[in-house]
């Protein structure tokens, strides 16, 4: 049986890692924004960072994904919480936060983050260059949201099913219905630590919810495999190839491992130490996934755009034609020339700076 001290230790680890990751995501989001001292310099910097809004959104989604992980922690939300007053935990006795956690984390934020990252990879393979001053590829968020909706609907149905149909799946421990749709498990007096805490409950992952997540992960990994393979074949140098391979390997380890660990919790008792260890290991795959995507798709492009602005003076004014305006020079891949006007000499000059092996 899981001891109270062990449960609190695991919860404190989750709170600490989620808090640090949350702050780092906000810092990366601020770093992705092309801040400059003057309005003119800021405008030129944005020409080098045409996709900064998409990167900013990716980091905000990542921060929210880490933040919602604390919703299922008993150390915070049970009536005997050591950190939150009892007046703030009394309304969570029915496992409401467990349902909200499943809806937000597995239904909305996880697929939204992964799909936005995949679409940012897709943008690096596009031959189309967005017009200056506009939101470059503003369809990214809309398409990611649209693709997330089916997962959100399915996870929401699972999370709220027992309330909708009026079943007692959470109290029917050992039943098939409990394994399939129960979002939390009601503990016995012994498991809760005495009669004074009778009626406690711990969050769990329903089997149907895990099935939905596994199906999404399989489709996603197939898509990301195709995108990263194309990016590797078109990479401009070996250093970029190493970054892409690291990104690819990390996702192909973290995502399947996380799904396997979460699926294993379905058949374990939430009041058992094995469940807590599996949950903690699953949680650790989340910051690893976020770090891999953020480093390649946000931090490195934002840093190299700032380096380009600091090292070179760009001769450009508002009256310049589109072909003479600076472009986002630090591209993930070397795009093959397509139909349209030739690239500007200025862009070619600075592209060579970051194309060396």
Assign 185 to helix, strand or coil: strand
Contact 93, 198 (CB under 8 A): no
pLDDT value of residue 334:
43
Contact 292, 250 (CB under 8 A): yes
pLDDT value of residue 318:
45
Give the span between the Cα atoms of 168 and 54, in whole angstroms: 43
pLDDT value of residue 208:
95
Query: b/e string for 104-121 if b means 16 or more Cβ within 10 A?
Result: bbbbbbbbbbbbbbbbbb
Q: How far apart are the first and last CA of the chain?
A: 56
**Which residues in the chain show pLDDT less than 70?**
1-6, 36-49, 77-94, 125-138, 166-167, 193-199, 236, 308-357
Give the span between the Cα atoms of 117 and 4, in whole angstroms: 38
pLDDT value of residue 92:
55
Q: CA–CA distance from 84 to each of 73, 78, 232, 276 (Å)?
A: 11, 9, 49, 21
CATH 1.10.10 fits 4-124+138-312, yes or no: no
pLDDT value of residue 157:
94
Query: Tokens 């807590």 map to which residue?
Result: 276
* Partner residues linked to 184 by β-bridges: 203
Q: CA–CA distance from 65 to each of 25, 71, 177 (Å)?
A: 10, 11, 28
């Amino acid at each position: 049986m899981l001891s109270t001290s062990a449960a609190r230790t695991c919860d404190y680890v989750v709170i600490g890692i989620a808090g640090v990751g949350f702050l780092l995501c906000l810092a990366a989001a601020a770093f992705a924004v092309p801040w400059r001292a003057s309005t003119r310099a800021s405008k030129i910097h944005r020409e080098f960072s045409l996709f900064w809004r998409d990167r900013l959104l990716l980091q905000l989604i990542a921060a929210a994904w880490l933040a919602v992980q604390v919703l299922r922690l008993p150390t915070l939300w049970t009536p005997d919480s050591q950190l939150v007053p009892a007046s703030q935990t009394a309304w969570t006795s029915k496992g409401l936060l467990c349902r909200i956690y499943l809806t937000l984390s597995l239904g909305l934020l996880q697929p939204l983050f992964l799909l936005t990252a995949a679409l940012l990879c897709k943008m690096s393979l596009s031959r189309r260059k967005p017009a200056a001053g506009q939101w470059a590829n503003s369809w990214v968020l809309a398409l990611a949201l649209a693709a997330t909706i089916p997962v959100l609907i399915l996870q929401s149905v699972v999370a709220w099913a027992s309330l909708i149909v009026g079943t007692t799946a959470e109290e029917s421990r050992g039943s098939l219905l409990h394994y399939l749709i129960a979002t939390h498990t009601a503990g016995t007096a012994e498991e809760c630590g005495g009669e004074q805490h009778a009626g406690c409950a711990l969050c769990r992952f329903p089997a149907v919810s895990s099935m939905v997540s596994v199906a999404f992960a399989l489709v996603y990994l197939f898509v990301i495999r195709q995108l990263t393979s194309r990016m590797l074949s078109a990479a401009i140098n070996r250093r970029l190839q190493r970054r892409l391979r690291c990104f690819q390997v990390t996702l192909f380890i973290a995502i399947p491992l996380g799904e396997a660990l979460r699926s294993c919790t379905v058949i374990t008792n939430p009041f058992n130490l094995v469940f807590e260890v599996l949950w903690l290991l699953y949680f650790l795959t989340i910051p690893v996934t976020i770090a891999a995507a953020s480093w390649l798709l946000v931090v490195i492009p934002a840093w190299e755009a700032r380096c380009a602005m600091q090292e070179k003076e760009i001769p450009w004014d508002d009256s310049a034609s589109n072909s003479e305006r600076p472009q986002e020079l630090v591209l993930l891949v070397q795009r093959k020339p397509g139909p349209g006007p030739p690239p500007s000499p200025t862009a070619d000059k600075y592209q060579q700076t970051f194309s060396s092996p």
